[in-house]
Amino acid sequence: MDLERLKPHFPWITLLVLAGLVGLANPSFFNPGGLILLMADIVPLFIMALGMTFAIYIGGIDLSVQQLANMVTVIATVYLAQFGLGIALIVIVAGGLFGIVSGYVTTRLYVPSFVSTLAIGFVALSIAKWLSGQRALYMDATLRDESFGWMFGNTAGVPHELAIAVILLAIAWFIQTRTTFGRALKAVGAGELAAVASGINVDRVKIIAFGISGIFAAIAGLIFSVKLSGGDANLANGFLLLAIVAVLVGGTPLTGGVGGVINTAIGTLIVMVIRAAMVYLEVDATQQQMVFGIVLIVAIALTIDRSKLRGVVK
């Protein structure tokens, strides 16, 4: 079979093979209850990767998502008592605005996205450190449960945070595949010059894509904060690498135009399986980062469309 025709199927084939290997090494991996808990545990990562997909789908990248999530954990913790459930809307709007600024800097000031989003991430980190006083903060358990206790209950054995992830995936899938904006996203990712020639407002598409990435990063940070009952300027550290890996191993290349949010769901499950395998093998956290770094390099090498490369990553 032609390798290029098989390439779109690599993500789910990889997932099945890895899951089978881990299951052979540790049969308890396939315990339904354990699998549900594993999936619930990676919900914040999945949501962050889901937003990142929109930035990568257009041929860019968003390196601010980790620091946006960190900032949100601090904002949610500091202002929960004052705004209650309303803090959710505040942080989501804040995440979207930060994303829009990233998109504006990228499109209107012609700063490559990896630079603009990295800079915006440092701004978010500085805000988080300033608000937190560079220390870990803790939520009042009663206030947290009153406003967000519904997030972490169970219905028919299904954790609510998992249901939230499925709903967000459905929304992201609808945006990508069933809207004019989604078709414009694909066109920009497939070829920016052709998209401009067809009358698409490329700058607006990019700005909105980064705004969506910021919104999803904020939701991920909020869930992370409520789940751990606190906030810290470093709470989500380590998530950026995993989010990028989830998008790329799922089959959405850095050059954009192919893949999408369903691919990211598969990619996140691959990350989950790899993490589970390393836990079973008692691989320490430092070595886990090394493993995912290698996986990232391999994913880029296998998925990138070299015909689009022009010496500059936008």
* Residues 281-314 pLDDT 10s: 888 877 888 888 888 888 877 777 666 655 444 4
Pairing of strands 158-159, 154-155: antiparallel
> What is the phi/psi pair of residue 230, to 5°?
175, -175
Q: What is the pLDDT of residue 313?
A: 44
Q: pLDDT tier at 2 (50, 70, 90 boundaries)?
A: low
Runs of H (alpha helix) within the chain: 3-6, 10-25, 32-41, 43-57, 65-83, 86-108, 113-132, 141-148, 160-178, 180-190, 192-197, 202-228, 239-249, 261-280, 285-303
pLDDT at 152 over 90: no
Here the tokens at position 191 are 């070829």
Query: Quick one: which of 29, 32, 63 has its CA closest to 239?
Result: 63
CA atoms within 13 A on the CB side of 303: 32
**Length of the chain, in residues:** 314
Q: pLDDT tier at 71 (50, 70, 90 boundaries)?
A: very high
* Residues 180-222 pLDDT 10s: 999 999 999 999 999 999 999 999 999 999 999 999 999 999 9
Domains, the chain, ranges and CATH?
3-305 (1.10.3470)
Q: What is the pLDDT of residue 310?
A: 53
Do residues 36 and 154 make contact, with C-beta atoms less than 8 angstroms apart? no
**Cα–Cα dist 156/27, whole Å:** 24
* Residues 22-32 pLDDT 10s: 898 888 888 99
